[in-house]
Chain A
């Protein structure tokens, strides 16, 4: 636990372990998932096998009020590493259980154009696109499974419930091999399970983000993250300008 806290780049107001290591069903190959509560927007990053996701506390509260899956994941399974202000308790008391996760599925469906890339575009950002495909597929499965009464965020349990055990290998390979054929396989799986077509009508990712921002916050944020390619981007850019 101490090693995990040391791996995180400050500042943070709380740190939580979640995912398989928090549930206790991690394999040797499982990554370690950590949530870092940050004072300002920050891109996710990795330190070795530790994947650090960053949210501000206000963002988490907003997700909890909307009954978002990520907030549910945290309140059901997260283990505090550092939480002096009991943010986990605040999330639990704020969380509003939705009637169903149809809204999440609709947002994921609307992200399909983000996966419309050529091989050379993929090679330009293989890590970002592979993890995006995995994220969208997993989120769609979570939403489907919890509408069917799932009890755990364990992916094996989820895949069993939605009758998609074959997807486990696809999800593993797309992230471990980072090549275009595996990405295409994952994209086909995404199209099969969601019924969406991965086709972008806009002539650029920027244009898609502008249009998506009117009605699909998930597509907007994931599009911006793709564009950032893991680089942090902050308001401070303005201070670098010659004025």
Chain B
């Protein structure tokens, strides 16, 4: 019998919906699919919540999303202010520094707690069992064996949503905004980015192996 899991889709800084969703989940291993920050109002609050969960529940899995990598890249100077802003990072910057004065990057470096940087750095690119693989952007159907970050965290694979796609394992991902505010669920692919923190959609979880959907 496969392990009982709860996959949690993109949160994008909406700590209220995340808390509401988590209250509905009990007795399962939690697998968060990434994109915890940016766009929404409370990036720092969401990371606090997740860090707290990680302390209480050693089995919880925190996957990396492109936005987590984006914040780390901005902090280390690999991504410009403009690029990070365009990803939706302005609200994250505000959630840490409140009001900006001059050197935004330096002010952010000074304001982000070490525990948050550590959490972001420790996020992993994928979670895999015999039956499924979970990663933020899903696998590339043309290279299903690849676990490269550029593909499974930062990539875009719209063909995951094609009819008749056959993959050896169930793919559980976020990343691709479902404008209907409901998850995409097919035989081979589940996508849980239902617009939380971006278009006022809910935070969404998938209970596995039951394949039940919960919203918060």
Interface residues of A (CB under 8 A from B): 41, 202-204, 206-211, 213-214, 220, 224, 227-228, 233-235, 237-239, 241-243
Q: Which residues of B contact A220 (CB under 8 A)?
A: 90
Top 3 A-B residue pairs of the complex, sorted by shortest distance between their CB atoms: A203-B102, A207-B100, A210-B100
Nearest chain-B residue to A223 (Cβ)?
A: B85
Whether A241 pairs with B82 at a CB distance below 8 angstroms is no
Do A228 and B69 touch across chains, with their CB atoms under 8 A apart?
A: no
Q: Which of A41, A204, A209, A241 is close to B90, meaning CB atoms less than 8 Å apart?
A: A209
What residues of B have a CB within 8 angstroms of the CB of A211 in the complex?
94, 99-100
Complex Cα spacing A41 to B82, Å: 13
> CA separation between A208 and B104, bound complex, in Å?
10
Mask for B55-94, Cβ within 8 A of A = 1, else 0?
0000000000010011001000011111101110011011
Min CB distance B212 to A, Å, is 30
Instruction: State A149–B85 Cα separation when bound (angstroms).
Output: 38
User: Which residues of A sit under 8 angstroms from B100, Cβ to Cβ?
Assistant: 202, 206-208, 210-211
Interface residues of B (CB under 8 A from A): 66, 69-70, 73, 78-83, 85-87, 90-91, 93-94, 97, 99-104, 149-150, 154-155
Evaluate contact between B102 and A238: CB separation under 8 angstroms. Answer: no
Shortest distance in angstroms between A58's beta carbon and chain B's nearest beta carbon? 8
B85 neighbours in A (Cβ, 8 Å): 209, 213, 224
Question: Distance (Å) between the CB of A2 and the closest chain B CB?
Answer: 31
Q: Are A241 and B81 in contact (CB under 8 A)?
A: no
CA distance A220 to B149 in the complex (A): 31
Q: Are A228 and B82 in contact (CB under 8 A)?
A: yes
Among the listed A203, A208, A235, which residue makes an inter-chain contact with B86, where contact means beta carbons less than 8 Å apart?
Answer: A235
Q: Contact: A204 with B104, CB < 8 Å? A: yes
Closest Cβ neighbor of A225 among chain B residues: B82
Contacts of B69 in A (CB 8 A): 238, 241, 243
Q: How far is the CA of A213 from the CA of B83 in the complex (A)?
A: 15
Q: Bound state CA distance, A208 and B90, in angstroms?
A: 11
Most buried by A among B81, B91, B94, B149: B81
Q: Are B154 and A207 in contact (CB under 8 A)?
A: no
Roughly how many angstroms separate A235 CA and B154 CA in the complex, as a whole number?
9
- A-B pairs with beta carbons under 8 Å apart, 8 shown: A207-B101, A207-B104, A209-B85, A210-B94, A210-B104, A213-B90, A213-B94, A237-B80
Interface centre among A206, A213, A242 (most CB of B within 10 A): A206
